[in-house]
Amino acid sequence: MQAIARPLARAAPRQVRAAAALSTWANVPAGPPDPILGVTEAFKADQDSRKINLGVGAYRDGNGKPYVLSSVKKAEEFLTANNPDKEYLPISGLPEFTKAAAKLAYGADSKPLNDSAVAVVQSISGTGALRIGGAFFHKFFPHSKAIYIPNPSWGNHTAVFRDSGLEVKQYRYFDKKTVGLDFQGLKEDLRSIPTNSLVLLHACAHNPTGVDPTPEQWKEISDIIKEKSLFPFFDMAYQGFASGDTTRDAFALRHFVSEGHQVALSQSFAKNMGLYGERVGAFSVTCADEGEKKRLESQLKIIVRPMYSNPPLHGARIASTILNSPELYTEWEDEVKGMANRIISMRDRLYDNLVSLKTPASVAQKAHIYMTADGRISMAGLNGHNVDYFSESVSKAVKGEL
Ligand code: IK2
């Protein structure tokens, strides 16, 4: 036994070395951390008690803690009491959910909705909806394989659309000098891009700038999009979060539909229901009639089936229970208002603090504060306990005193 064991023991390290040198993956380089979610990893590793994470856009309560909505808890209790099964959902998702999600976005009096002319599928939150949309446009949009997104835009848009096979181009959106909308630049760009192009619009709470067009500006944008026969694809990841009112935040989408545009829409329930990890969303397209809607839905299912077969069940059941119960719906609307108001009050307090600290009008980072490299901060990460420290740190950094 020993005579055999010794040579084998001596040989093992050589075999291990040889195996490592021949690994199929030896030439795979390490990728960079995600610019947004990588910030959370760095935040978790920091031991300083003053640390603040303003990187990922996830709501926190007044004590900086994750927040589960009371309407969500009640919906879950109701679901548990009804002893639900864990069967597969249809490829297009939970019908009660997709119907209610479309109604929330387009409005109960929406013509295409009432004509049964909106093709909808459940998606893996907003990102999944954008990805299904990207694949759908790549396969069926007859005019081009490009999408125009605002500059700047949510960091993941480029990757999502590029991986869907689309070429990603930009139109002007933000004016650094006025720290507001570059409305002239936006209009000029929309007028100069090729007729029939596909254009992504943030429906409300533009990420990362927080700057939205006014209703009057949306009307002008709608007119240009009509003149140029552009196709509007709305990304609505924050319905209710911008103003506290889901109807007000759906203004742009509903205005475009009432003006006769055909639209595509990505919806997320991550923020407005706090269902981040449940991955609840929907992708929809308005169609000419019910027959067209059925054809589109059949094609959307063909896109979904090889990607992930069918969507997750639990979050869709929660959202559906809330959206379809008058009491829970009212409670949820109040909670959305509460979250939006807390964010709005933090923005006001931060602004007042920076002004009273005589802070020059440019922003930097440091001092255990985690934010994305483009200077975007998630207002929801601020609360009554950390907003003063954050203001002072920003002020010092900008003045070169940190
Ligand atoms: N679209 C926009 C404009 C978003 O801001 C988001 C969410 N961003 O925050 C989380 C992150 O940076 O990953 C989405 C779409 C998609 O969000 P979700 O897939 O979580 O619904």
The reported pLDDT for the residue numbered 210 is: 92
The mean pLDDT value for 202-209 works out to 96
> Is there an atom of ligand 1 within 6 Å of 106 CB?
no
Residue-number span of the structural domain to which 381 is assigned: 37-68+337-397
CA proximity to 62, closest of 390, 395, 385: 385
143 and 268 part of one domain: yes
Specify if 228 maps to a domain.
yes
**34 DSSP 8-state letter:** P
The reported pLDDT for the residue numbered 5 is: 40
Q: Residue 362 above 60 pLDDT? A: no
The reported pLDDT for the residue numbered 18 is: 59
The reported pLDDT for the residue numbered 8 is: 42
pLDDT, the chain, mean? 91
> Is there an atom of ligand 1 within 6 Å of 275 CB?
no
The reported pLDDT for the residue numbered 90 is: 98
Specify if 170 maps to a domain.
yes
Q: How far apart are CA 29 and CA 19, in angstroms?
A: 18
Q: Residue 363 above 90 pLDDT? A: no
- 108-148 confidence digits (pLDDT tens): 999 999 999 999 999 999 999 999 999 999 999 999 999 99
The mean pLDDT value for 273-286 works out to 98
Q: How many domains does the chain have?
A: 2
CA 327 to chain centre: 27
Q: Which of 40, 268, 308 to mutate to test the pocket of ligand 1 (most atoms within 8 A of CB)?
A: 268
The mean pLDDT value for 87-94 works out to 98
**CA dihedral for 361, 366, 367, 371, sign (positive or negative):** positive
Ligand 1 atom nearest to CA at 129:
19
156 and 198 part of one domain: yes
Q: Residue 2 above 60 pLDDT? A: no
Could you tell me whether strands 198-202 and 369-370 are parallel, antiparallel, or unpaired per DSSP bridges?
unpaired
The reported pLDDT for the residue numbered 20 is: 57
266 and 375 part of one domain: no
Per the CB < 8 A criterion, the answer to whether 137 and 266 are in contact is no
CA of 400 relative to ligand 1 center, distance in Å: 33
275 and 129 part of one domain: yes
The mean pLDDT value for 358-362 works out to 67
Specify if 259 maps to a domain.
yes
The reported pLDDT for the residue numbered 376 is: 79
393 and 262 part of one domain: no
Q: Looking at residue 147, which CATH number applies to its domain?
A: 3.40.640.10
271 is catalytic: yes
Q: Residue 3 above 80 pLDDT? A: no
Q: Which of 154, 200, 236, 266 to mutate to test the pocket of ligand 1 (most atoms within 8 A of CB)?
A: 154
Q: With cut-offs at 50, 70 and 90, classify the pLDDT of residue 16.
A: low
Q: Which amino acid is at 345?
A: S
- Closest Cα to atom 8, ligand 1: which residue? 57
Q: Which of 169, 271, 293, 332 is catalytic?
A: 271
Specify if 319 maps to a domain.
no
pLDDT above 90 as % of the chain = 70
Q: What are phi and psi of 240, to 5 degrees?
A: 100, -25
> Is there an atom of ligand 1 within 6 Å of 234 CB?
no
The reported pLDDT for the residue numbered 356 is: 85
Q: With cut-offs at 50, 70 and 90, classify the pLDDT of residue 7.
A: very low
CA proximity to 268, closest of 255, 248, 284: 284
Q: With cut-offs at 50, 70 and 90, classify the pLDDT of residue 297.
A: very high
- 20-50 confidence digits (pLDDT tens): 568 999 999 999 888 877 788 888 888 888 8
239 and 366 part of one domain: no
The mean pLDDT value for 344-348 works out to 85
The helix/strand/coil state of 328 is helix
Alpha-helix residue ranges (DSSP H) falling in 68-214: 70-81, 95-106, 111-114, 125-140, 155-163, 183-192
Q: What are phi and psi of 141, to 5 degrees?
A: -65, 120
55 and 93 part of one domain: no
- Closest Cα to atom 9, ligand 1: which residue? 57
Specify if 82 maps to a domain.
no
Q: Looking at residue 383, which CATH number applies to its domain?
A: 3.90.1150.10
156 and 229 part of one domain: yes
Q: pTM of this prediction? A: 0.89
